[in-house]
Structure 1
Amino acid sequence: MKMNRSEILFLYDIMDANPNGDPLDENKPRLDEETEINIVTDVRLKRTIRDYLNEFEDEEIFVREKQSSTGEGLQDAKTRALDYLKEENFETFDEAKEALKNQILETCIDVRLFGATIPLDVKIKSKKKTGSITLTGPVQFRMGRSLHKVEIEHIRGTGAFASTDGKTQKTFREEYILPYSLIAFYGAINENAAKTTDMTDDDVEKLLKGIWNGTKNLITRSKFGQTPRLLLQIEYSENNFFIGDLNNKISLKHTIDDKKIRNINQVKLEYNKLKENLSKNKEKINKIRYKIDENFDTTEESQNIIEVIKSLGIQTEEIII
C-alpha cells in the first residue's frame, strides 16, 4: 500500500512540573532566554514514544538503556548493535552491515520510525573491522515550544531521610518547575525515507498512540501532570508536497498575562492562519486525522477545530487510541 507524506501537529500541557530539564543548568526547564518561551527537545518526545511502545505495546526498541552482560553498568552502542548480529562468519564487512541493518529494521520499530546511526565492530576473517550504518528516519520532529511565555519557579522542600545516619536533621531537596506550559510540537513523515527503513502504516498508528498515550502515561515525579490536548495528522495526496511550519500557524487567545496562565480553561486556540493554509491547499490533502481533548477550547463561531476543517470540504477521521 502506498504511503503518503503527512505532517503532525501535537499540543500538550504540563502543570507544576518540569517537561524537559537541562542537565547542564541545574536541570531547570529549558527556556529561550530572549523570548521566555519554554523549549522541549525532540529527543524528549522520542523517548516518550519509545518508552510507551516498549512498555505498553511490547515493541522492541533499539535506543534504550540495557544492562551490560557483565552486570556492571549499561551496554554501549557497539555492544547493543551486536545483540542483533546473530551470525558471526561473514565474508565481507559489507555483508555484516547488511545483515545487521536488515535484522534491526525487522525488529526495532524506533529505527523504522526515527532512524539511527548504528556502530559496528566485528571480525572479518580474523581481522577487526569497524564502521557504522546511518539510517535517516522518516519521522522527524522540531523542538517543541510553548505557545506563551513562562516563568520558572524554584521549589525547596524537606526530604524523607536524615542527612546522615543517626542525625535528626533531614535532607533538603531543590527543584525547578513551570506552573504551566502549553507546548506545540511539529513533525513530518517523509514517504521517501519510509522506503529505506521499511516503515509501515501500522508503525505510524503506533507512533500516534505513542505520542498521545505516552504523554498521558508519564508518571515520573518531574513529568506527572502532562496532558495531551490536540493531535492532528495531515495526510497529503500529492507526492512531496507539504504545508510546513504548522506550529507557527496557531497561537493562544487569553485575557491574562502569559506568565499567569495556570490551566487549559484560561486559554483558547487561535488557528486562522492554519485554516487559511488548509483551505488554500485542500485539493492536495487526502484527509486530516485527529484526536482532541474535550477540555481544550478550539471553538470558532460555535464550531470546534474539527468541525471547521470539515466545513472546508476536507475529509476527517478520528484517531482511535
Structure 2
Amino acid sequence: MSIAKRSEVIFLYDLSWGNPNGDPNDDNKPRIDSETGVNVVTDVRLKRTIRDELIARNYEVLVRDTKTDDGFLADGKHRGYDFLNEPLKSKINRMSKKEIEKVKISLDDLEQFKSNIKKCIDIRLFGCVLPSDINGANLQYTGPVQFKMGYSMHPVKLELVKGTGAFASGEGKDQKTFRQEYILPYSLINFYGVINDRAAEITGLSEEDVNILLDAMWHGTKNLITRTKAGQVPRLLINVTYKEKDFYIGELDKKIKFFYDIAGESVRAIKDGILQLQDLKDCLVRNKKKIEKVSIRLDSELKTDIDIVEEFKNI
C-alpha cells in the first residue's frame, strides 16, 4: 500500500435545533465566539465522530472505552498493555504497579509494541501520546491528519429551551424536576484539515486509510444520532491531493463563502444561502500542475454558484 500524499480537506456539515459541540465548563452551551457570533466546534469532536464510525465498522481503534480486569475504565497505560506481545503482556498482568515500574522493555519487544499499535487505524491517522509504567515503553506519534477548529459560515443564535423532567424532584414530592438546555436553531460548519505526508511515513498512513477516513467522516457525521446531534447532514467534502512532496496551497477553507441575503442569525436551513465555490475553483486551476487529483462529494440539497464537478471535468 502506498504511503499517503500531502493533501488538504474541506468538510462542511450542518445541524438544525441541536448542539454541535457543548462546552462542559459552560453549562454545555454550544461554543460561540463572543466577538463574531460564530459557532466553534473542536477538532476533538470531529475526531470522536470519525472514531465512533470506525469502531462501528469493526476497525481496530486504540482510543475507545475499554475496561480493566477489575471492571474499571482503562486509562492510557492500561490500554497500551493490550498491544504488548503475549509473553510480556502475560508477565505484566501478574505484576503489581511497583514491579511493573522496574521492568525495562527490550528492543525486540518495543519494536513489536510499536508494530501492534500501528495496526490501529486511529493511530495511523491521528497519532497518540501513550504513557506507560514500563521503562522505555512510552510512545508518541504526531498524527498525519490534523484539523483546525471548525466554525460556522454565518453568525448563530443561541436559544435556551426549558422543560420538565420525567421524574419527581425528590422523594415524597409531587412536582417534577425542571431542565434546561442551550441549542442552536441552525449552524453550517466548516472544517479544514491537512494530511502531512512526512508524518504519514512514520505512522504508516496509506492512501487507502485516507479514503476510509473521508468515508467515515461523511457517514459518521450522519450516523451520530444522539439527542443533541440527530439530524446532522454532511453537505460538502473536498480532498485535494498533491503531486509535489511538501507542497500544499493552504487555507482552502477560506476560498469558499456562504452567501445569504438575510441576517446570519436568521439562517435556518441550507436552502437559505448559496455556497460560493468560484474562488476555490480558480485557486485550484492556478495550481493544477502541482495537483494529482481533486475528490468531491456533494449533498444534493446544497446550492452552489457553479457546478464545480462539471467545471473540473472540463479542465
The answer, yes or no, to whether TM exceeds 0.5 is yes
Q: Say whether the 8 Å CA contact 2:5–2:207 is kept in structure 1.
A: no
CA-to-aligned-CA distance 1:121-153 (integer Å, 9 cap, x gap): 22xxxxxx2652111111111110111111111
Aligned match of 1:104: 117
Aligned match of 2:27: 26
Task: Quote the offset at 1:309 in angstroms.
Answer: 2.9
Aligned match of 2:311: 308
Structure 1 runs, 4 residues or longer, greater than 6 Å off: none
Q: Say whether the 8 Å CA contact 1:14–1:180 is kept in structure 2.
A: yes
Q: Where do 5+ consecutive residues of structure 2 fail to align?
A: 92-102
2:232 to 226, 242, 248: 226
CA RMSD of aligned residues (A): 1.6
Task: Quote the offset at 1:94 in angstroms.
Answer: 4.5
Q: For 1:120, what is the secondary structure of its paired residue?
A: coil
- Percent identity, aligned pairs only, is 48
1:115 to 116, 127, 136: 127
Q: Say whether the 8 Å CA contact 1:251–1:271 is kept in structure 2.
A: yes
Task: Quote the offset at 1:32 in angstroms.
Answer: 1.2
Task: Quote the offset at 1:260 in angstroms.
Answer: 0.2
Q: Where do 5+ consecutive residues of structure 1 fail to align?
A: 123-128, 314-321
Task: Quote the offset at 1:193 in angstroms.
Answer: 1.2
* CA distance in structure 2 between the partners assigned to 1:2 and 1:98 by the alignment: 20
Aligned match of 1:216: 222
Count of aligned pairs between the two proteins: 300
> Which has the higher relative contact order, 1 or 2, with Cα contacts under 8 A spaced 6 or more apart?
2
Aligned match of 2:64: 64
Aligned match of 1:75: 74
* CA distance in structure 1 between the partners assigned to 2:107 and 2:192 by the alignment: 36
Q: Say whether the 8 Å CA contact 1:264–1:296 is kept in structure 2.
A: yes
Q: Say whether the 8 Å CA contact 2:124–2:203 is kept in structure 1.
A: yes
Task: Quote the offset at 1:103 in angstroms.
Answer: 0.7
Return 238-247 or 166-175, whichever deviates more: 166-175
Aligned match of 1:35: 36
Aligned match of 2:97: none
TM-score by length of structure 1 reads 0.89
Q: Say whether the 8 Å CA contact 1:116–1:136 is kept in structure 2.
A: yes
* CA distance in structure 1 between the partners assigned to 2:35 and 2:113 by the alignment: 45
Aligned match of 2:185: 179
Task: Quote the offset at 1:93 in angstroms.
Answer: 4.9
TM-score by length of structure 2 reads 0.91
Aligned match of 2:281: 275
Aligned match of 1:11: 12
Structure with the larger strand share: 1
1:255 to 254, 261, 281: 261
